[in-house]
Amino acid sequence: MGKTIIVSNRLPISLDYKDGKPDFKTSAGGLATGLGSIFEDANNIWIGWPGNYVEDPEQRAEIFLELHEHKMAPVFLTQEDIEDFYEGFSNETLWPAFHYFTQYIAYERRFWEAYVRVNEKFCEAILKKADPDDTIWVHDYQLLLLPKMLRDKLPNATIAFFQHIPFPSYEIIRMLPWRQPLLEGMCGADLVGFHTYDDMRHFLSSVGRILGLSNESGYIQAENRLINVDAFPMGIDYAKYSETADSETTSKVVQKFKKQLGDQRLLLSIDRLDYSKGIPQRLKAFDELFKLYPEYKEKVSLIMVVVPSRDTVKEYRELKEEIDTLVGRINSTYSTLNWVPVHYFYRAFPFEELSAFYKMSNIGLVTPLRDGMNLVCKEFVASKTDQQGVLILSEMAGASKELKDAILVNPNNMDKVTEALHLALNMSEEEQRTRLVSMQETIKRYDIHQWVKVFMDRLKIVKEKQAEFQSKDMDEETVLELTRYFKSSKSRILFLDYDGTLVGFKNKPQDAYPDSELKDLVEKLTKKAQVVIISGRDKETLGKWFEGLDVDMIAEHGVWVKNRNTEAEWDVFSDVDNSWKDDIRHVMDYYVQRTPGAFIEEKHHSLVWHYRKVESGLGDLRMRELFSHLKYMASGHNLQVLEGNMVLEIKRPDINKGRAALAFMKDKEYDFILAIGDDWTDEDTFKAMPKNAYTIRVGYNYTKANYNIKSSSQVRDLLKRLL
C-alpha cells in the first residue's frame, strides 16, 4: 500500500531562527490534529510552504533536512509568489468571489499567472516524493489547479481535494475569467469534498454548466473516470476543548479574568480580521441592545478578539478602521468608571486563555456574513462543560447546518440579532442545558477524527468503484479473446444499437445518418454474422438508412421489427394498447406550456417530453416535477417512466429492446452473441442476453453489461477486428 501525502498551502509549523539555526514550532491547528492519525503513520508526509522566504541554497537544504525529521517537505516560495499567488489570486480573487463579495474581486492576469506557477511548484515538489500508488490529499482554495496537474503526471494515483471555504453559486463562478481551468483543476481529484450540501450542489451545477459534465447522485462522469463529490462537515478536536475547559490551568485563568472583569454577563466574539466575518454588523447590533434595553448597561460586556490578518490590504485596513471607530463610539457612549461595554483585543491569545474565554462567556456571538464552516462556534459549545451558555449563530456559516439548537440569525438583520441577544440573556438554565446537550452530542460524535475517517473511507469506496469499471474495460486482451471466439464460432448474432454506439451524437438527430465507412462495415459484417440493428429510432428513418443491407432491424425500442429474410414490411412486435396516451399527453402538455423550449414527441408506444432546448436548470427543475407527476399516474396505467438524455419517456414496460432481441433468437442456436449499446434502453438488451453473450456498454456508466468501451469510434474499431 502506498503512503499518504497531505498537501496544504501552509505547513502546520512556524519557522524561526535561533542562533542561526532553523527552529520549528508545530502548530496544533484543528486540521493538523485531525490528520495526526494519518500523518503519524509510516511514511506519510505533509507538503507545503514553511512560511518563510529562503533563497540561499544552503539554508534551503538545512530546512529540507529539518523538515524531513518532522515528516514534512517544503515548497519554497518567493516573496513575489506570495504577493501574487497568495495575497493576490487566492485572497483577492478567490476569497472574495467564494464568499460572495463580488465587489472586492481582483481580475489581475499577473495574479492568475502566479497562481498557475505556484500550483506547478507544488506539483513538482509532490512529484519528487510521490509514488504512483500514493494517496494525495490536497487542501483548500489556494491549490485548486493541483489535482489535475497531479492527475496528468500520475494517472492512477488516488487524489482527494477538500475545500475549507464556501463554494458559491454558478452565478459567481461564471464571473471568473479562469472558471474553466479552475473547475478542471478540481476535477483532477477522485473525491472532492465540501463542508455543506449547498457548496456541493453549487460545485456540481458549475461543473455541469461550464464543463458540460453531468452527475448522478454526486458522481460526475468524466471521460474515463468517476469523480465523487460530497459534503463532509468538518469537526473539531472535541476532547481537547472539553478537557482543557475543565483543566486546572484554564480554571485559574478564568478566576483571574473574572476578578478583573467583575460581575458581568459576557458575550464572546472571536474572528480573524475579515470582511466575511460581519464584525461591524455585530457591533451595531450590540450597540442597539443598549438603545432598546438600557437595563443591560453596566451588566453586559462583549469580549471581542480580532486576530490580525491581511491588514496591508486596503479592504482589510479600512475594515480595521471601521471596527476601531465603532468600538470607540460604543465605549465612549456607554462606559462608566467601572464598566466597559467592549473589551476589544486586536491580537491572538494563547490556547489556555482562549479556552478561558470560551468557558467564562455566557453567550457565543458568531455571526459571519459567510463562512465555510466556522470552528469557533463548535469550540465554544465543546468548552461548555457545565452546559450553561447560549450560542447565537449565523445562518451563513456552514456550521449552522449542524447546530440547529443554536439561536440562528441572519447576520444582515440587525434587529433580529439584537432580539437574539435579548433572548439569549433571558434564556432559562434548563433551556440552555437542553440546547447545549443536543449540540454537544452532535459535535462530539462528528469530531475531527470522525471527519478524517469518513473522508478517507469514502475515498477508498470511490477507488473501488473506479476499479470495477476498469476491470470491465475492453482492454486488448479481451478484444483478442472476443475476436478469437468470433472466428472459431459458426453461428453468430450481433445486436448493435445505433445512436451513440455506431455513430456519435449530432446536434440535429437527422444528421446522424450512416456514413459510407459504417455502411461498408455493416455490409461486411453481414457476410459473417446475423446483424440486428436495434434502435429507438422510428422505423421509417431506420428503414431508409439501412435500405439494401442484409440486416434485421428493431425500431422504436422493440415496437417494430423487420426481418432481413422476408420481403415483408415492418411488423408490430406486440399489440400496443395506446388508450393511456391521452391522459398522459394532457399532463405533458401542461409542462410544455410552462416551459419555453420543451416539446412532446409521440412515438408508437411511448410519449417523450424533450427539454434539450430549455434554459439549463429550468429544464431539470420541470423535468423533476413532471417526473413525480408522471410516476404517480404511471402506476395507475401500469406504465414505466424513464429518464434519458434530456428527455423523459413514458412507455409500457413490457415493450423493450430486450424482449425484441430475445424474439430474434427464439428457436435458434447461436454460439457467438454480441450486444453493444450506450444507454439505459440497451440495459434491457444486456439483461435479456444469455450468460455466454458478450455485452458491452459504450461510455463508463454503471451497467449490466460485462464490459465498457470508451466511444463509438472504438466500437467501430472493435467490429473491424471481426472481419
What residues are labeled active site?
497
Residue 435 CA to residue 625 CA, distance in Å, equals 37
Half-sphere exposure of 190 (CA within 13 A, CB side): 24
| CB closer to ligand GDG, 455 vs 611 | 455
**What is the chain's percent helix, strand, coil content, to nearest 5?**
45, 20, 35
Nearest-approach distance from CB 634 to ligand GDG, in angstroms:
45
The edge-to-edge listing of strands for the beta sheet with 363-366 is 342-345, 300-307, 265-272, 363-366, 390-394, 407-409
Q: Is 331 helix (H, G, I), strand (E, B) or coil?
A: helix
Torsion angle in degrees (nearest 10) through CA of 305, 308, 313, 319: 10
375 binds ligand GDG (CB under 6 A): yes
231 binds ligand GDG (CB under 6 A): no
Stretch near ligand GDG under the rule CB under 6 A, chosen from 279-287, 372-380, 578-586, 664-672:
372-380
Cβ atoms of 688 and 659 within 8 Å: the answer is yes
Nearest-approach distance from CB 311 to ligand GDG, in angstroms:
15
Nearest-approach distance from CB 195 to ligand GDG, in angstroms:
7
374 binds ligand GDG (CB under 6 A): yes
Over the window 17 to 56, marking each residue x when it contacts ligand GDG by CB under 6 A and - when it does not, the resulting string is -------------x--------------------------
Cβ atoms of 694 and 707 within 8 Å: the answer is yes
Cβ atoms of 267 and 396 within 8 Å: the answer is no
Nearest-approach distance from CB 577 to ligand GDG, in angstroms:
58
| CB closer to ligand GDG, 270 vs 722 | 270
Stretch near ligand GDG under the rule CB under 6 A, chosen from 207-215, 218-226, 367-375, 592-600:
367-375
Among the listed residues 200, 207, 373, 534, the single contact to ligand GDG using CB under 6 A: 373
Residue 46 CA to residue 66 CA, distance in Å, equals 13
| CB closer to ligand GDG, 30 vs 278 | 30
Q: Is 359 helix (H, G, I), strand (E, B) or coil?
A: helix
Among the listed residues 34, 96, 188, 372, the single contact to ligand GDG using CB under 6 A: 372
423 binds ligand GDG (CB under 6 A): no
- 175 contact partners, CB below 8 Å, separation of at least 6: 97, 102, 105
Half-sphere exposure of 655 (CA within 13 A, CB side): 28
What is the DSSP track for 204-215? HHHIIIII---E
Q: Is 572 helix (H, G, I), strand (E, B) or coil?
A: strand
302 binds ligand GDG (CB under 6 A): no
Sites for ligand GDG among residues 105-134 (CB under 6 A)? none
Nearest-approach distance from CB 371 to ligand GDG, in angstroms:
4
Residue 640 φ then ψ, to 5°: -120, 130
The DSSP call for residue 514 is: P
Among the listed residues 182, 191, 376, 673, the single contact to ligand GDG using CB under 6 A: 376
- Report the greatest alpha carbon distance in the chain: 108
Nearest-approach distance from CB 276 to ligand GDG, in angstroms:
8
524 binds ligand GDG (CB under 6 A): no
Amino acid identity, position 147: P
Sites for ligand GDG among residues 304-363 (CB under 6 A)? 305, 307, 348-349, 351, 354
Among the listed residues 3, 10, 164, 604, the single contact to ligand GDG using CB under 6 A: 164
| CB closer to ligand GDG, 277 vs 657 | 277
Sites for ligand GDG among residues 242-281 (CB under 6 A)? 270, 272
379 binds ligand GDG (CB under 6 A): yes
Q: Is 450 helix (H, G, I), strand (E, B) or coil?
A: helix
| CB closer to ligand GDG, 28 vs 61 | 28
Amino acid identity, position 433: R
190 binds ligand GDG (CB under 6 A): no
Cβ atoms of 386 and 279 within 8 Å: the answer is no
For ligand GDG, the binding residues (CB under 6 A) are 30, 164-165, 234, 270, 272, 305, 307, 348-349, 351, 354, 371-376, 379
